[in-house]
Amino acid sequence: MDILKKIEQAKLVGRGGACFPVATKWNYVKKAEGNKYIVANGAEGEPGVKKDGYILTHHTKEVINGINLALKFFKAKRVFIFLNHNYTNAESQIKKEIGKLPIEIIYKPQNAGYIAGEESALLSTLEKKRIEPSIRPPFPVESGYKQSPTLINNIETFYNISLVDKNKFSDKRFYTVGGDCYKPGVYCLPDNWSIARILEETNNFPRFKFFIQHGGRASGEVLNSTQLNQKVRGCGAITIYKQDSHDSFNFIKNIINFYAENSCGKCTPCREGSYRLKKMLSGTKMNWPHFLELIDNMEASSFCALGSSLALPVKSYLKNVNPDFNIQL
């Protein structure tokens, strides 16, 4: 049985955040005509997410084996491992496992920002073009690196592909638990566990008044302590906040600052919207209705998911936690 059939049977989904079926993406690349390229995406620019760095350090062999399986299956012309520049400590281990395989390590430029991890922006970075997302379609599976079919999977996905090939895959995923917690770290646990169970099983369930953000420390949804009977979204991160230690205004301000600093500037809604939101928060008087209207506009009309995702953390915080503000959403 070839690796694609094994992936289909395992019902493996990507671990980059979108949870797209891996077999579907591989089939698209397989059917596309032209030289094939492969990218292992380890850009990991979302604050509070550290799983890829952990996997590269502790499971290097499995990751490279998963990449090599894809390399052989597609007879790819070239493979890139696109890494966050904070992961240089894993480089020697990675190179040792690569050996003579046609795999090249490329580091995400330090000034590239969060958006460089987005698929089309990543490809622009590899081609030394302006780092910004592109119009899709065409999608990378049809026209990616050098306008050729390109498979882009997350580091954790390639790790899982290796497990699938060895018949060792079980539906687990890596969770980054951080913030105001007892035992911060990266844990490999079942994908269907609730947030509450993950915190309990890792001895991180707080004994103080708290709220959490899951999926990522910037774009993730914010929940109060009574809303934890659901799965973790996105990149598998849970950040715990001691409620008495976090000022509501500063919490929102930190989110807005992240988006303003990481906007690539390509589209007006994200570029101008995040800038205006930041200016409003630095003023002496807040116009909350106008603030929320700007967020709605960014959500509806931003070019890529960066600008549109700002609404979720801010709105969920105001709705689910909101200890200091009386704002009608």
The residue-averaged pLDDT of 169-198 equals 96
Of 32-46, 153-167, 287-301, least confident by mean pLDDT is: 287-301
Distance CA 70, CA 236 (A): 24
For residues 98 and 217, membership in a common domain is answered with no
Q: With respect to residue 194, please indicate whether it lies within any of the assigned structural domains.
A: yes
What is d(CA 204, CA 240) in angstroms, rounded to the nearest whole number?
9
Q: Quick one: which H or E segment has residue 327?
A: none
Does residue 327 fall inside a structural domain? no
- Least confident range from 132-141, 185-194, 300-309: namely 300-309
| Pairing state between β 237-242 and 210-214 | antiparallel
Residue 325, pLDDT score: 60
Looking at the structure, tell me whether residues 29 and 132 fall in a common domain: yes
CA distance 121 to 57: 26
Sheet of 172-179, strands arranged across: 185-190, 172-179, 237-242, 210-214, 221-224
Closest CA to 130 of 120, 138, 140, 139: 120
Higher-pLDDT residue of 203 and 274 is 203
Closest CA to 68 of 110, 99, 41, 22: 99
CATH of the domain at 151: 3.40.50.11540
The tokens for 81 are: 């491992």
**Per-residue confidence at 83, pLDDT binned at 50, 70, 90?**
very high
Closest CA to 181 of 161, 153, 147, 205: 205
Mean pLDDT of 92-106: 94
Looking at per-residue confidence, does 242 or 271 come out higher?
242
Please, are residues 33 and 149 in contact by the beta-carbon 8 Å criterion?
A: yes
In the predicted model, is pLDDT for residue 223 greater than 90?
yes
Asked if 106 and 217 sit in the same domain, the reply is no
Domain shared by 200 and 274, yes or no: no
Put the strands of the sheet holding 78-83 in their side by side order.
103-107, 78-83, 37-42, 150-154
Contacts of 65 (CB under 8 A, 6+ apart): 162, 165
The whole domain housing 106 covers 3-165
Residues 138, 66 share a domain:
yes
Mean of the pLDDT values across residues 32-44? 94
> Is the same domain home to 192 and 90?
no
Same domain, yes or no: 180 and 290 = no
The residue assigned the tokens 């116009």 is: 287
Residue 284 lies in a domain: yes
- pLDDT band at 133; cut points 50, 70, 90: confident
Here the CATH number for the domain that contains residue 305 is 1.20.1440.230
238 domain-assigned: yes
Same domain, 14 and 104: yes
Domain membership flag for residue 325:
no
Structure tokens at 298: 């960014």
pLDDT band at 249 (very low <50, low <70, confident <90, very high): confident
Domain at 210, CATH number? 3.10.20.600
User: Which of 116, 156, 153 is CA-nearest to residue 236?
Assistant: 156
Whether 95 and 8 map to the same domain: the answer is: yes
Structural domain includes residue 271:
yes
End position of a domain, from candidates 108, 142, 165: 165
The count of domains in the chain is: 3
* pLDDT given for residue 26 in this prediction: 96
Average the pLDDT over each of 42-51, 147-156, 203-212, 296-305 and give the range with the smallest value: 296-305
What distances in angstroms separate CA 85 from CA 67, 110, 259, one per listed residue?
A: 20, 7, 20
Instruction: Report the chain's mean pLDDT, rounded to a whole number.
Output: 90
Rounded distance, CA 274 to CA 268, Å? 10
Of 214, 245, 276, the position where a domain reaches its end is 245
Query: Residue 137 — very low, low, confident or very high, per pLDDT cuts 50/70/90?
Result: confident
Please state, in angstroms and rounded to a whole number, the distance separating the CA atoms of residues 258 and 254: 6
Report whether the peptide linkage leading into residue 102 is cis, meaning its omega lies within 30 degrees of zero: no
Q: Is residue 328, in this structure, part of any structural domain at all? A: no
Grade residue 323 by pLDDT with cuts at 50, 70 and 90: low
pLDDT range class, residue 146, cuts 50, 70, 90 = very high
Task: Verify that 139 and 239 share a domain, yes or no.
Answer: no
Q: Is there a single domain that holds both residue 56 and residue 180?
A: no
Is 329 part of any domain? no
State both tokens at 14.
């990507």
Query: In this structure, are 101 and 202 located in the same domain?
Result: no
Question: Where is the domain boundary, 245, 279, 297?
Answer: 245
Please state, in angstroms and rounded to a whole number, the distance separating the CA atoms of residues 174 and 230: 16
